[in-house]
Structure 1
Amino acid sequence: MPDFKRGRSFLRGAPAACLILFLAACSGGQPSAPETAAGPTAASTTAAGAPAVPSASGAAPPSSAVPGASSSTRPALSKEAQMETDRLLIRAAKANDPVQVRKLIAAGGDVNAKDDIQDSAFLYAGAEGFNEVLKLTIAAGADVKATNRYGGTALIPASEHGHVETVKILIAAGVPVNHVNNLGWTAMQEAILLNDGGPRQRETVRLLLEAGANPDIRDPQGRTALQNAERLGFTEIAALIRG
């Protein structure tokens, strides 16, 4: 370490740069790089003031490495944006607006998202016979086994209402034909019990039978589909079941 007594005479009148070098030698360190008037050197911070996080190669990370980037086909949305897009999608489905439904699916809307009464775009379109909207939701990956607030699949209310073309679409999509809802009814039981036994109901029952629906599943009163058809006087439906 330099002798301070001998250094006193040297320090008197010495330039500032010499003083910095002398003090650095006394402390055993090196003089630090001077800061600019704007603050620390640019290498330590980004322009926004956040610490820079370079990749292993020193280059900026690729967009696929950005946290939150989605690997699915749907655009990655924030939680709030996703909720709003899903809400608008369900509203467009309930309005039977296939143009808006298509746009909202492309914008990232989730066809399986449900509203406060457990309706999704897929479930509502199936129940109401909105076939163009229904096909869009199926193409976008709708969960065909999804259930509504009554614990029923989309096929059950579609069968109840006699939406023949909708029943065909749902059967082809793989909706279970023997699912029992919270009321204890299958699609076939609802097709018989909750409508008039007319031509659309007869065709619905025929399609269900052809798809493997079991007419022997009993309702909460212990009656089969055949017994209900006979009890209600739907002789043509009863004949279909017997056949």
Structure 2
Amino acid sequence: MKHFKIATLLLLAIVTFPLLSAEKSILESKLRTAAANGDIATLVKLLDVDHVDINARNKVGITALMQAAEEGQIKAVGELLTRGANVNERSENGETALTSAAENGESVITAMLLERGADLYARTRAGWNALMIAAKYGLTDMVDQLLFKGADIRSADKHGKTAAILAAEGDHTDVVKMLLKAGAQVNCRDDNKTTLLMIAADKDYPNLAKLLISHHASLDMQDNDGATALIWAASAGHEDIAKLLLEAGANPDVQDNDGMTALMEAAANGDT
């Protein structure tokens, strides 16, 4: 008889467990939705359910805190932090609540997360930390906030790109200026040995080029192909940038790995 009762209990558990698990999953999905929408009443109600995990992740590893941070839901972030949400939980792509807040320029939420111990140096799978993300998107206020908190300006992603390089690629001259003032190297290079000045020359960013020249950027550094900023400008047909570089003292006789000078590149592209 005792064995029969045990078997009955076990069968009941086998039937009940999947149902409870499914219910838990549904409630946790609703929790993330409430956080993203800033629906505090629903959020609180769900957090009061015993078996709901505040740090539950969706299929790509996103938590309620990450969603609230991304959507700029300050009250939801506050409630989740008060209830003990893990501030440094990571998604499958390595994103954290802080990187999500940084990407969207959410300064108040960024401050809240840092106060609760968010890792300022945490990186996404691409190798980007919060500062790199803010720099990439030209978010000057966010960059300023993160620099004040001690963000590492010399960290590089998996391609060797620093915050300054990422900012330069988007022509975010004000951000580059802030980073240089904070100690970023004006001659920093990525894995291809591309410099900030080469980026400005290639993409035709005259204001950025002027800033870099004023900070004494090296004019004749060469990338992995032996090209200088002047060769980049000549190859792309950017006359104004080439003029800036020449006036600053760039050497027009430097040859790349194929023996091409800036003049040869200009001629080859019909710009002589």
| TM-score (ref. length: structure 2) | 0.55
1:175: which partner in 2? Answer: 184
Kindly indicate whether the alpha-carbon contact (under 8 Å) linking 1:82 and 1:109 is maintained by their aligned counterparts in 2: yes
Structure label with greater radius of gyration: 1
The letter of the residue matching 1:207 is: L
Q: 1:82: Cα distance to partner? A: 5.3
Kindly indicate whether the alpha-carbon contact (under 8 Å) linking 2:102 and 2:133 is maintained by their aligned counterparts in 1: yes
The letter of the residue matching 1:115 is: T
1:239 aligns with 2:239: no
Q: 1:159: Cα distance to partner? A: 1.2
SS at match of 1:149: coil
Which one of the candidate residues 101, 107, 120 is aligned to 1:111?
120
* Alignment root-mean-square deviation, CA: 1.8
Q: 1:83: Cα distance to partner? A: 2.4
SS at match of 2:134: helix
Greater fraction helix: 2
SS at match of 2:167: helix
* Alpha-carbon separation, structure 2, partners of 1:93 and 1:101: 7
Q: 1:116: Cα distance to partner? A: 2.0
1:123: which partner in 2? Answer: 132
2:167: which partner in 1? Answer: 158
Which one of the candidate residues 81, 88, 96 is aligned to 1:87?
96
Kindly indicate whether the alpha-carbon contact (under 8 Å) linking 1:178 and 1:214 is maintained by their aligned counterparts in 2: yes
Q: 1:206: Cα distance to partner? A: 0.8
The letter of the residue matching 2:148 is: A
Kindly indicate whether the alpha-carbon contact (under 8 Å) linking 2:88 and 2:119 is maintained by their aligned counterparts in 1: no
1:31: which partner in 2? Answer: none
* Alpha-carbon separation, structure 1, partners of 2:211 and 2:141: 20
Kindly indicate whether the alpha-carbon contact (under 8 Å) linking 1:93 and 1:125 is maintained by their aligned counterparts in 2: yes
* Alpha-carbon separation, structure 2, partners of 1:168 and 1:102: 23
Which one of the candidate residues 207, 228, 231 is aligned to 2:232?
228
SS at match of 2:231: helix
* Alpha-carbon separation, structure 2, partners of 1:125 and 1:217: 28
1:13-72 Cα shifts (integer Å, max 9, x gaps): xxxxxxxxxxxxxxxxxxxxxxxxxxxxxxxxxxxxxxxxxxxxxxxxxxxxxxxxxxxx
The letter of the residue matching 2:195 is: T
SS at match of 1:178: coil
Q: 1:213: Cα distance to partner? A: 1.2
Report the count of equivalent residues: 159
1:27: which partner in 2? Answer: none
Structure 2 residue runs without a partner (length 5+): 1-84, 248-272
In the TM superposition, 1:130-145 aligns within 5 A as 130-145=139-154
The letter of the residue matching 1:106 is: E
